[in-house]
A and B are shown apart, each in its own frame.
Chain A
Amino acid sequence: MKVLVCVTQVLEVSTYVEFTADGRAVDPAFVTALVNEADLCAVEEALVLVEHAGDGEVVLVSAGEGEADEALRSALSLGPQRAVRAWADGVVASDPRSVAAALMAVVESESPDLVLTGVQSSDTGAQSVGPVLAAMWGVACVPVGRRLSASGSTLALEREFEGGIVERVEVDLPAVVTVQVGANTPRYGSFKDKMRAKKADIDVVVPSSLPPSRTTVARLCVALTGAGRSLELIEGGPAAVAARIADLVREVQS
């Protein structure tokens, strides 16, 4: 069984932020890059599927410029066999359809049985790349999935909905699944895998055609918080905080 897992770098921004001169991105001085949490759950899910199948491989792909290699290397340290990067000038990183078109070039060259993505990028949360990729590939997509198991060419899994509703479903492979954050606890990976990840060759696949981008990030600005409420901060240590909470509870219950 060959599983392709899409991983991406997400940005954590500091409380105080400044933007780049064109106003369309956060100034890199105010960000920390990490591997998207849901993608690590997808990698773990893939590794378990391949272990159970008894043979096959887990291949990672990220669409991005050079820095995407960092996400690929940290995900490789969990144990996947290989990693590929997809990029060409003209890929619009903020447009899920453009990203999916880049990833699609790797789906075509690798012909996997299953493609996993995370449920969403934690920083910009479009929840879109998996469903678009499935549409481009012409296969079914199961979003917000967990507890994957394969038997022959059938994949069984659970998908989640609002309000705690869970549906157990089956789908024929090949297919795309977006893996829910927290679906499992990703392993740490062995020392050997970590060393291998550091030195791994990461080939770059260049997509041959890209769809037009129909969205443009025009401007970023700092969000005003408050949401209609004004915050009263309790000072004076844990005892004062507990006393205030106890008062609030009694007010409600009296």
Chain B
Amino acid sequence: MTRSLVLAEVIDGVLAPVTAQAVTAAASLGGDVVLAVVTQEPHDLIEAASLVGVTEIVTVAAPGSDRDHEQALAAAAALVADVDPDQVLAGFTIRSSAYAAALGHLLDLGVVTDAIALRRDESGPLIATRSVYDGRVHAEVELDASRPGLVLVRPSTWEAAEPGGSPTVRSLAVDLPESRVRSVELVRPSGDVDLTRADVIFSVGRGVGSQENVAVFAEVAAKFGAALGSSRPIVDAGWLPASHQVGQTGTTVKPRLYVAFGISGALHHLAGMQNSQTIVVVNSDKNAPLFGHADVGAVEDIHDVVEQLNLLA
């Protein structure tokens, strides 16, 4: 029987959604699913971690912050030694990627990051599918069966396991090192817009071309009662404050209508908007990957379209 170890991700004392998704991915392989919760007060999370499909919860009390990847690495190494799993799963997130490949090296595990599917054929090797080249190609990667595999699963790809399981619970004491990365200050986003509350978002990407053009879109968005979002390069360029950025390192939004102007559709942007109810894409390149995730699309120059929109507002 196979055994999976799922490494939970805890952010601000709460289980991140990707953890319940990783549990589903692990449960799909059958066998035992051990969920490890490494955080300052793991006992507060037992109920949340008692997901259907989890057979055992192992807690590790860890004094560091949830951003301390050196501590996460040491805890994960101890957990793998203790649980002796056939495969280890965690989310493909900044916190997990910070230590996953190092863990793979230290314990000689096969590592696949950003997996979108996982299967094992008839006692054969574990096979993880990755989406590569802008999502145009899928690569099936085989993990060496002689060693445990470590797979980071793409968020929002598996359904979340439901609460209400009845796993056994135990704790594991691990001596954790102090991180060599010293925290000086934590800066949380603050800003002039709250995109999470908007019903309609007009979002601009690099295709907008200049700060002056961003202002044109801002004006038209306001006339339509839409909030203004953007892809990351617009924020990097200083054309909009960070509070406007949609995506993995920005805000996750789920409006009733998301209109993307001149945004190509990188995975990191998709991560923040793919669950919008209706997605509209305007892009002059008919091959832009975002068209593959849209309900309505137009292959047009966004400047021509915004000019026409302005007349209708």
- On A, residues with C-beta under 8 Å from B are 11-13, 15, 17, 26, 96-97, 100, 123-129, 131-132, 134-136, 139-144, 156, 159-172, 175, 182-183, 211-223, 225-227, 229-234, 237-239, 241-246, 248-249, 252-253
Contacts and interface: CB of A to CB of B under 8 A. Distances in A.
Interface string B232-266: 11001000001101001111100011010000000
B110 A215 contact: yes
Nearest to A132: B101
B297 A234 contact: yes
A165 B141 contact: no
Contacts of A249: 200, 224-226, 257
B122 interface: no
Nearest to A129: B101
B97 A131 contact: yes
B170 interface: no
Given A143-B94, A215-B144, A233 B309 contact: no
13 contacts: A15-B287, A17-B133, A131-B102, A135-B106, A161-B249, A170-B181, A213-B144, A219-B140, A222-B138, A229-B293, A238-B304, A241-B308, A242-B308
Nearest to B278: A248
A131 B101 contact: yes
A162 B94 CA distance: 7
A237 B130 CA distance: 37
A242 B312 contact: yes
Secondary structure call for the B interface: mixed
Contacts of B189: 163-165
B184 A170 contact: yes
Interface in B176-214: 179-189, 199-200
Given A221-B138, A231-B297, A248-B278, A253 B200 contact: yes
A183 B238 CA distance: 11
Given A13-B133, A214-B109, A231-B297, 14 more contacts: A11-B133, A13-B136, A123-B134, A124-B139, A125-B267, A126-B114, A127-B97, A128-B113, A144-B94, A164-B245, A169-B182, A229-B279, A234-B297, A246-B224
A171 B181 contact: yes
A49 to B, nearest CB: 18
Contacts, number: 265
Interface of B: 11, 67, 69-70, 93-95, 97-102, 104-106, 108-114, 127, 130-144, 147, 149, 179-189, 199-200, 224-226, 232-233, 236, 242-243, 245, 248-252, 256-257, 259, 267, 274, 278-280, 282, 287, 289, 291-301, 304-309, 311-313
A164 B181 contact: no
Given A215-B111, A227-B274, A245 B280 contact: yes
Contacts of A159: 67
A104 to B, nearest CB: 11
A241 B282 contact: yes
B309 A246 contact: yes
Given A11-B133, A231-B295, A238-B304, A97 B105 contact: yes
Contacts of A165: 186-189
B140 A234 contact: no
A94 B181 CA distance: 29
B111 A128 contact: yes
B104 A17 contact: no
A114 to B, nearest CB: 14
Contacts of A226: 292
A13 B308 CA distance: 34
Given A161-B249, A241-B282, A218 B135 contact: no
A141 B200 contact: no
B149 to A, nearest CB: 8
Nearest to A154: B182
Which of A162, A226, A234, A241 has most B Cβ within 10 Å?
A162
A141 B98 contact: yes
A111 B280 CA distance: 51
Contacts of A212: 108, 144
A214 B108 contact: yes
A129 B102 CA distance: 9
A141 B257 CA distance: 40
Contacts of A253: 199-200, 225
A250 to B, nearest CB: 9
Contacts of A26: 133, 137
Contacts of A214: 104, 108-111, 143-144, 147, 149
Given A162-B248, A163-B249, A166-B187, A234 B298 contact: yes
Contact of A215 (B11, B69, B143): B143
A13 B139 CA distance: 14
A17 B106 CA distance: 37
Contacts of A182: 232-233, 236
Contacts of B299: 233
B186 A167 contact: yes
Contacts of A229: 279, 293-295
Given A26-B133, A143-B94, A221-B138, A171 B180 contact: yes
Which of A136, A164, A248 has most B Cβ within 10 Å?
A164
